[in-house]
């Protein structure tokens, strides 16, 4: 996007994208951005809004992260299209529940795609019990208990999911 200063980079692949907007929020004095893509589904040509960002990550930034996710929900709801909001949201389960309640109180019907259709045995997107990169560096020995958390999320304001799967869990072949 012309004139967009480089910083934290996130992206989205969409084969049928229309309008692509980079939007800013200035919630705490920082000028941060999120991506909103107007797309169409392949099967029925239905308009769809796709939104992503990388939200604040540390535990002490919970209030800011919740404000950011609620801003994404508000932007998605205002588009008047079915929407998917997802990415490395860094949101913890209690925060997610609070944000979904906020959306519901405003009449926005978002639901967690993973909770609706995901495999609960492989739900962790930050899993230090199975991450071979983490283990190979000896970092696992630094922790008493290797954490398992789901930071990456997808929220939908449309339809139901029959299947939702986490890909990319196997290391790439070296070469």
Check residue 120 and report its DSSP letter. G
Task: For strands 152-156 and 83-88, give the pairing.
Answer: antiparallel
Asked whether 89 and 153 are in contact (CB, 8 A), the reply is yes
CA distance 5 to 27: 19
- The token pair that represents 120 in the structure block: 């609960």
3-state class of 60 per DSSP? helix
pLDDT digits (tens, 9 = 90+) for 122-167: 677 777 777 666 555 555 455 567 777 777 888 999 877 767 666 7
CA distance 53 to 91: 12
> Mutual orientation of helices 62-78 and 93-105 as an angle, nearest 10°?
40
Asked whether 112 and 100 are in contact (CB, 8 A), the reply is yes
Residue burial 98-126, b: 16+ Cβ < 10 Å; e: rest: bbbebbeeeebebbbbbbeebeeeeebbe
Is pTM beyond 0.85? Reply is: no
Whether the predicted pLDDT of 35 surpasses 90: no
pLDDT digits (tens, 9 = 90+) for 71-101: 999 999 999 999 999 988 989 999 999 999 9
CA distance 102 to 83: 17
Q: Which three-class secondary structure string do you get for 109-154? A: CCEEHHHHHECHHHCCCEECCCCHHHHHCCHHHHCCCCCEECCEEE
pLDDT of residue 19: 80
CA distance 130 to 49: 34
pLDDT of residue 12: 67
CA distance 55 to 28: 13
């Amino acid at each position: 996007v012309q004139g967009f200063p480089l910083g934290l980079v996130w992206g989205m692949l969409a084969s049928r994208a229309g309008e692509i907007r980079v939007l800013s929020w200035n919630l705490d004095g920082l000028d941060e951005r999120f991506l909103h893509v107007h797309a169409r589904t392949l099967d029925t040509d239905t308009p769809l809004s796709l939104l992503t960002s990388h939200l604040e990550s540390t535990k002490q930034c919970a209030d800011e992260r919740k404000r950011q996710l609620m801003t994404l929900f508000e932007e998605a709801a205002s588009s008047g299209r079915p929407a998917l909001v997802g990415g490395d949201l860094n949101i913890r389960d209690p925060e997610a529940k609070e944000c979904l309640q906020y959306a519901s109180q405003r009449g926005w019907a978002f639901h967690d795609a993973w909770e609706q259709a995901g495999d609960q045995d492989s739900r962790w997107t930050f899993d230090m019990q199975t991450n071979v990169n983490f283990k190979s560096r000896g970092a696992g020995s630094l922790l008493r208990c290797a954490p398992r958390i789901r930071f990456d999320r997808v929220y939908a304001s449309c339809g139901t999911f029959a299947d939702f799967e986490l890909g990319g869990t196997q290391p790439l072949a070296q070469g």
